[in-house]
């Protein structure tokens, strides 16, 4: 599941009890960085997994870290590999990611989440700690980065990245879920106000700077983008975050389009999977399972004008990643053809 959690006083509280084993350059936890040994399991629908998809692509880790993609829906057990022939992941040879968790612990008691990194030789999950996964890809896997890869987690900016990201996680990334899964009017009202207070602060911050921290894309931008790109399609209506649409917020809308049009961001987005996941799986929020046809998505290709604020996406000496290895079907993201054209 992408949003395991419980209700505390009728408000949503995310289960953050992840498997914290790390894959590091020195192998301190018994899992050294090694090209070809691990498989990243994701679902394009999930914003937390989307972070890892973007970072892997920006850093050019496709040859070093293969990727299995689950379909947009799941049952109470876990995400399934229903997009693959025969319903089996072609590398792990399992039908659902739960199987890799049970290889790690036959009585695994917590949420079955994506992203997860699986040790291919044993078939067991190494980690599902989504925040640490991307930071480690950025810092521990450096020897395997492509030439021209951006530094998404510069040591001199690490503290600022985390300081900016912490309230984004609390009030925006997780805040939309606290709105959508609120069990009382009071819990919803509190989550809604906190969400919009912080989005207003971000609108102000991004009105004078192109990126959240520094002069090029960092981990902080990846973390915010995956919520913004889902906002109008899902969170505005489905989660009742409806004070304004993203398209009505000049700085945030321009910022989101700037990132979307940057190779490695928009080309990872599957709007069809995103909408199908939220509107079909969340039966408590949308009992009919009807998936809306809107909103229009072509506007993600419209000019943003953010270059006037300075900076560059990949920093000095950085270059964009090549064409994506795992291609989103054009009908699932119509803006991509307009950008390419």
Q: What distance in Å separates the CA atoms of residue 138 and residue 151, rounded to the nearest whole number?
A: 7
Question: Of the candidates 168, 142, 139, 143, which has an alpha carbon nearest to the alpha carbon of residue 154?
Answer: 139
> Are residues 115 and 48 in contact, defined by beta-carbon separation less than 8 angstroms?
yes
Q: How far is CA 37 from CA 26, 66, 280, in A?
A: 15, 9, 34
Beta strands (DSSP E) in 115-161 are: 116-119, 124-127
Distance CA 229, CA 259 (A): 10
70 catalytic? Reply is no
101, 153, 177, 235: the active-site residue: 177
Catalytic residue among 46, 70, 179, 241: 46
Q: Which of 288, 282, 257, 275 is nearest to 331 (CA)?
A: 275
Give the bridge partners for 176, in sequence order. none
241 tagged catalytic = no
Angle, helices 219-230 vs 47-59, to 10°: value is 130
- The one-character DSSP state at 32 is B
Identify the bridge partners of residue 7 per DSSP, sorted by sequence position: 12
> What phi and psi values does residue 261 have, to the nearest 5 degrees?
-85, 0
CA 128 to CA 132: how far, in whole Å?
9
Backbone angles phi, psi at 79, to 5 degrees: -65, 150
The answer to whether 31 touches 23, Cβ cutoff 8 Å, is: yes
Angle at 326 between CA 325 and CA 327, to 5 degrees: 105
256, 224 contact by CB (below 8 A) = no
Radius of gyration, CA atoms only, the chain? 19
7 backbone dihedrals φ, ψ, rounded to 5°: -110, 120
Known catalytic residues? Answer: 46, 177
């Amino acid at each position: 599941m992408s949003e395991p959690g419980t209700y505390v006083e009728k408000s949503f509280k995310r289960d953050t009890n992840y498997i914290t084993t790390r894959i590091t350059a020195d192998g301190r936890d018994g899992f050294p960085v090694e090209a070809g040994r691990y498989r990243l399991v994701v679902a394009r629908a999930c914003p937390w997994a989307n972070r890892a998809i973007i970072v892997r692509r920006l850093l050019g880790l496709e040859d070093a870290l293969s990727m299995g993609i689950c379909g947009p829906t799941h049952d109470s057990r876990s995400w399934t590999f229903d997009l693959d022939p025969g319903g089996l992941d072609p590398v792990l040879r399992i039908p659902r990611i739960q199987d890799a968790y049970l290889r790690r612990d036959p009585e695994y008691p917590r949420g079955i989440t994506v992203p997860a990194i699986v040790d291919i030789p044993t078939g067991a999950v190494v980690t599902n700690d989504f925040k640490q996964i991307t930071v480690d890809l950025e810092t521990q896997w450096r020897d395997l980065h492509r030439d021209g890869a951006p530094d998404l987690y510069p040591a001199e900016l690490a503290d600022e990245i985390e300081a900016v990201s912490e309230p984004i996680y609390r009030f925006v990334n997780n805040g939309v879920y606290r709105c959508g899964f609120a069990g009382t009017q009071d819990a919803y009202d509190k989550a809604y106000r906190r969400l919009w207070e912080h989005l207003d602060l971000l609108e102000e911050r991004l009105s004078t700077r192109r990126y959240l921290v520094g002069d090029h894309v960092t981990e902080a931008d990846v973390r915010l983008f995956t919520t913004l790109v889902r906002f109008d399609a899902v969170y505005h209506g489905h989660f009742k975050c409806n004070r304004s649409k993203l398209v009505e917020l000049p700085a945030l809308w321009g910022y989101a389009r700037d990132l979307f049009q940057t190779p490695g961001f928009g080309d990872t987005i599957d709007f069809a999977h995103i909408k199908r996941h939220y509107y079909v799986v969340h039966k408590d929020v949308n009992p009919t399972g009807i998936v809306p046809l809107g909103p229009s998505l072509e506007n993600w290709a419209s000019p943003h004008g953010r270059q006037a604020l300075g900076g560059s996406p990949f920093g000095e000496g950085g270059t964009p990643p090549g064409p994506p290895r795992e291609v989103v079907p054009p009908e699932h993201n119509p803006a991509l053809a307009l950008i390419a054209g």
